[in-house]
Amino acid sequence: MNNFNPADNIQDLQYFGEFGGVNPSISDSSTYTFLSAKTMFDTFEGNAEGCYLYSRHSSPSNLYLAKALAAMEGTEAANVSASGMGAITPVLLQLCGNGEHVVSSRTIYGGTYAFLKNFAPRLGVSTTFVDITKLDLVEAAITPATKIIYCETVSNPLLEVADIESLAKLAKKYNLKLVVDNTFSPLSVAPAKLGADVVIHSLTKFINGSSDTLGGVICGTQEFIDALKNVNDGASMLLGATMDSLRSASIMKNLRTLHIRMKQHSHNAQYLAEKFEADGIKIVYPGLKSHPSHEIYKTMINPEYGFGGMMTMDVGTLDKANALMELMQERNIGYLAVSLGFYKTLFSAPGTSTSSEIPLDEQVQMGLTDGLIRFSIGLDNDIERTYQMMKQCMKELAIM
C-alpha cells in the first residue's frame, strides 16, 4: 500500500458550487433537459460523457460522492445507492445468475446472509458458507459454477479478519470476482489495493457517522460500474435503489471528517479493549494480541487509522448481557441500538438482534455466544472516564 493514503486522496478532490459555493451545488432534479434530440439518444446509448438523463441513472450530486469514495478505495469508479443492501444485492445479481454459485464467509452481515441463504436461491443462485479464515476450506468450496468469493474485511459480529490478499490470489486462480464489504474498516483497509475486485460499504455506518440516513456504495472498475448502470441490463439501474441527491450531498459533508473520527473510534476501542482484557473480561478486538488474526490484520491496515471502532465482550449469559446494556443506557454511556459508527457508543446482543437471521445451531458453530455484546465505540472525549463508568455498571451486576 506504501504511500496510498485514502484521506489525502479525498482531500485532493476539489469541488465548487454553481455560484462559487465552497460545497458543490445539490442537483435537485429527477430529470434533465437536452439541447438536441441526438444528444438524448447518445446518452441512452451511454455515449454522452457529462450529460445527465434521469437521476436513477446518475446525478451530479451522486457522482461527486461516488468520485470521493472511489478515491478513498483507490478504484477507478463507484456508484452510490440508497442503502448498503442496495449496493450488495445488485453486485451479487450482476455477477451471478441462474445456476451459478457464491462462496461466502459464514460470518457476514445478517441481511446479506439472509439474502444469499433465503432469497438468491429463488433466482437460481446458490451459496456455500465457509469459515473465511481457512483458505483450504474456501478453495474446497469452489465449483465450476462459482462466480464470486464474498467476505467482509472485518466480519460482523465476530470481528474475524479476511486475508484479502490471499483470497484475491485464490479468486484469480479460478477466475472469480472477490467482493469485499469494507463497512467496518473504512480508511484503515483498502481492499482493492490488496486485490479485491469490488468493494462495498454501507455508508449508513462510519462513513456518514451521524445515524441520520441510510446509504451504500459500490467501488470497482469503470467497466463494472458502467455495467451496473446500464439502462438495458444493469442491476443498480434496474433494481432502482438509487440514492437521493440531498442525501448524497449530506453524506459528502460528513465524509470530510471521517479520518478524524476513525482515529478517535480506534483510539477509544483500543483503550477499552486493553483495559477490560486486563481485567479478565473476554474481549474480541483486532487490535489485541490475543485476536487470532492480529498479526495478519496489522499488515493490512493503514496504522494511522488503527484497528477500528468495533469490539465484542462476552459476559457469559444473555440475561447478564441484557442487564448490562440496560444499565449502560440508563447511565448514558451509550444506546442499546443496532448499527454502528455513531458519535455515541452503541451496543446490542447480536445473537438476538442483528444476527438473528442465522439459525441457532449455526450461531453456536461459529462462536456467536449468548452473552456476547457487540460494541460500536463512540467518539468519547475522555475514554478513561467512560471505562470507569462501564466498570462501575459491571461491578454492580457482578460481572466483574
Ligand X SMILES: *Cc1c(COP(=O)(O)O)cnc(C)c1O
Contacting residues toward ligand X, per CB under 6 A: 83-85, 109, 111-112, 152, 156, 181, 183-184, 202, 204-205, 214, 216
Compute the least distance from the CB of residue 371 to ligand X, in Å: 21
Task: Please say which residue, 168 or 179, places its beta carbon nearer to ligand X.
Answer: 179
Compute the least distance from the CB of residue 207 to ligand X, in Å: 10
The half-sphere exposure of 26 on its side-chain side, counting CA atoms within 13 A, is 12
Compute the least distance from the CB of residue 80 to ligand X, in Å: 11
Task: Please say which residue, 202 or 266, places its beta carbon nearer to ligand X.
Answer: 202
The half-sphere exposure of 366 on its side-chain side, counting CA atoms within 13 A, is 26
Task: Please say which residue, 43 or 156, places its beta carbon nearer to ligand X.
Answer: 156
Task: Please say which residue, 83 or 312, places its beta carbon nearer to ligand X.
Answer: 83
Task: Please say which residue, 24 or 191, places its beta carbon nearer to ligand X.
Answer: 191
Task: Please say which residue, 183 or 188, places its beta carbon nearer to ligand X.
Answer: 183
Compute the least distance from the CB of residue 84 to ligand X, in Å: 2
Chain center to CA of 397 = 34
**Contacts of 267 by beta carbon, 8 Å cutoff, 6+ apart:** 306, 383
Task: Please say which residue, 113 or 387, places its beta carbon nearer to ligand X.
Answer: 113
Compute the least distance from the CB of residue 25 to ligand X, in Å: 26
281 phi and psi angles, rounded to 5 deg: -85, 145
Task: Please say which residue, 204 or 268, places its beta carbon nearer to ligand X.
Answer: 204
Query: In this structure, how many other beta carbons lie within 10 angstroms of the beta carbon of residue 195?
Result: 17
Compute the least distance from the CB of residue 66 to ligand X, in Å: 16
C-alpha cell, 297: 490484520
Compute the least distance from the CB of residue 399 to ligand X, in Å: 26
Please give the Cα distance from 373 to 263 (Å, whole number): 22
The secondary structure of residue 115, as a DSSP letter, is I
C-alpha cell, 139: 478453495
Number of residue whose CB is nearest ligand X: 84
Compute the least distance from the CB of residue 296 to ligand X, in Å: 19
**Contacts of 269 by beta carbon, 8 Å cutoff, 6+ apart:** 285, 287, 306, 307, 308, 309, 310, 311, 375, 377
Compute the least distance from the CB of residue 114 to ligand X, in Å: 11
328 phi and psi angles, rounded to 5 deg: -65, -35
Please give the Cα distance from 258 to 231 (Å, whole number): 33
Q: β-strand 101-105 against 126-130: which pairing, if any? A: parallel
Identify the sign of the CA torsion 379, 382, 387, 388: negative
Q: What is the per-residue DSSP string for 318-381?
A: HHHHHHHHHHHHHTTSEEE-S----SSEEEE-GGGTTTTTS-HHHHHHTT--TTEEEEE----S
Q: At 105, which helix (H) or strand (E)? A: strand 101-105
Task: Please say which residue, 179 or 379, places its beta carbon nearer to ligand X.
Answer: 179
